Structure 1
Amino acid sequence: MDTLERLTSARIIPVVVVDDVAHAVPLARALVAGGIPVAEVTFRTAAAPDVIRAMAQEVPEILVGAGTVLNAGQVDQAADAGAQFIVSPGFLPSVVERAKERGLIVVPGAVTPSEIMAALEAGLSIVKFFPANVYGGVDAIAALGAPFGGVKFVPTGGVSSANLGEYLALPNVIAVGGTWMVKPALIRAGDFVAVENLSREAVASIAN
């Protein structure tokens, strides 16, 4: 199974904010144990590259990517640390090109028709729809499916256990990004049992 298949087969992509690298490995193990072997480690903290490196080296079962990537330099930092995919909140050609140069899957943010067309022109067919709850959510993604039949979406922002099923029921949604199973407070408290349990509940909810 290649990176893209692993990314989309999980159906849920935990969006992780980690301040302390000591939490990286137990967090990754909790996600794997809970049935979600994916982590999008956001570049919202200075620890992000070290967290990616620790997860990639110590927990090979997990697919580790970098999120909130805003420039080509961060793409390089993520790639050097062992990230296997890049997620950006918006579409920036320099980020997309550098990710391609580094051999990484890249999922840029695109919510308007113009942004989606720019992503298509760059050779991409998967985009992040962020923040989903602000830009129309399920209804907006369903409507965009008509003119953009070949585009697949990863909605993030406002996705929760309550609406997870609605998003994943859309034929043009291949996965969702979320934080409810990896809330920063849980991570800071070292409550990885809760992370595992919430992850398991999320997986069970989409299996039914």
Structure 2
Amino acid sequence: MTMTVDDVMALAPVIPVLVVENVDDAVPLAQALVAGGLRALEVTLRTPAALDVMRAMATVPGAVVGAGTVLNPGMLDEALAAGAQFIVSPGLTEPLGKAAIASGTAFLPGVATAGDIMRGLDLGLDRFKFFPASTSGGLPALKALAAPFGMVRFCPTGGITTETAPEWLAQPFIGCVGGSWVVPKGPLDPARVEALARDAAGLAR
């Protein structure tokens, strides 16, 4: 079943942003995140292993695997071939936007300005990643940006922490947040990841 972007954003209050170097970590990492209540898994295409990681994670029951850091239609095609159920990009270009829409896949493009949002609306998009959230003015900036665009919902990503996430999630125009804190750097510790995922899944929105 094809998921809409709203379906993906509704899975949990936090979408973990994953940079995975080792394919062997893919299944235990996905199992830990899903067990903790985080089903939408954004695998960033920043490592040589990323596409294989996505394929491996897709075998984990309950996991909804998407591709992040998708920059152009070529990367979009690679991600879809690897089974991506949703697509996240750091910005929005017309070629990528049109290709993503044509694919029918849930698409969450990055925006940081009113012009970005208006270009997205012109393409028929109204769900966006606010990125990079903390260095683009943080919550005050997003509140100001959201005011003229009542139909738009956001997933802020970039610099959000377990401490600051609740303040973001309390806003009516925010559907979820993206965060890398759920998977600490260093050797994979599935028990630690599951505990952090459970805390993140329990955040109110």
- Preserved CA contact (<8 Å) 1:17 1:184: no
Which residue is equivalent to 1:27? 29
Residue number in structure 2 paired with 1:157: 158
What residue in structure 2 maps to residue 8 of structure 1? Answer: 9
Q: Does 1:54 align with 2:56?
A: yes
Give me the whole-angstrom Cα distance separating, in 2, the residues matched to 1:4 and 1:108: 11
Report the Cα offset of residue 5 of structure 1: 4.0
Q: Deviations over 1:142-164 (max 9, x none)?
A: 11222111111110011111111
In structure 2, C-alpha distance between the alignment counterparts of 1:19 and 1:70, rounded to whole Å? 19
Q: What's 1:44 paired with?
A: 46
Q: What does 1:1-208 correspond to in 2, within 5 Å?
A: 2-9=3-10, 10-56=12-58, 58-185=59-186, 189-206=187-204
Contact between 1:155 and 1:176, CA under 8 Å: does it hold in 2?
yes
**Which stretches in structure 1 are left out of the alignment for 5+ residues?**
none
How much identity, in percent, do the aligned residues show? 50
SS at match of 2:201: helix
How does the TM-score come out when normalised to structure 1?
0.93
Equivalent residues of 2:13, 2:200 under 8 A apart: no
Q: Distance between the aligned counterparts of 1:137 and 1:193, measured in 2? A: 31
CA contact (8 A) 1:39 1:65 kept: yes
**Residue identity in the other structure for 2:183:** V
1:86, 1:106 within 8 Å by CA — same for their partners in 2? Answer: yes
Distance in 2 of aligned mates of 1:166 and 1:80: 37
Alpha-carbon distance between aligned partners in 2 of 1:5 and 1:60, rounded to the nearest angstrom: 21
Q: How many positions carry a matched residue from both structures?
A: 203
* Equivalent position SS for 2:183: coil
The structure where helix makes up a greater share of residues is 1
RMSD: 1.4
Q: Is the 8 A contact 1:18 1:184 kept in 2?
A: no
- Give the deviation of 1:29 after TM superposition: 0.5
TM-score (norm 2): 0.94
Aligned mates of 2:4, 2:53 — CA distance in 1: 19
Q: Aligned-pair distance for 1:71?
A: 1.2
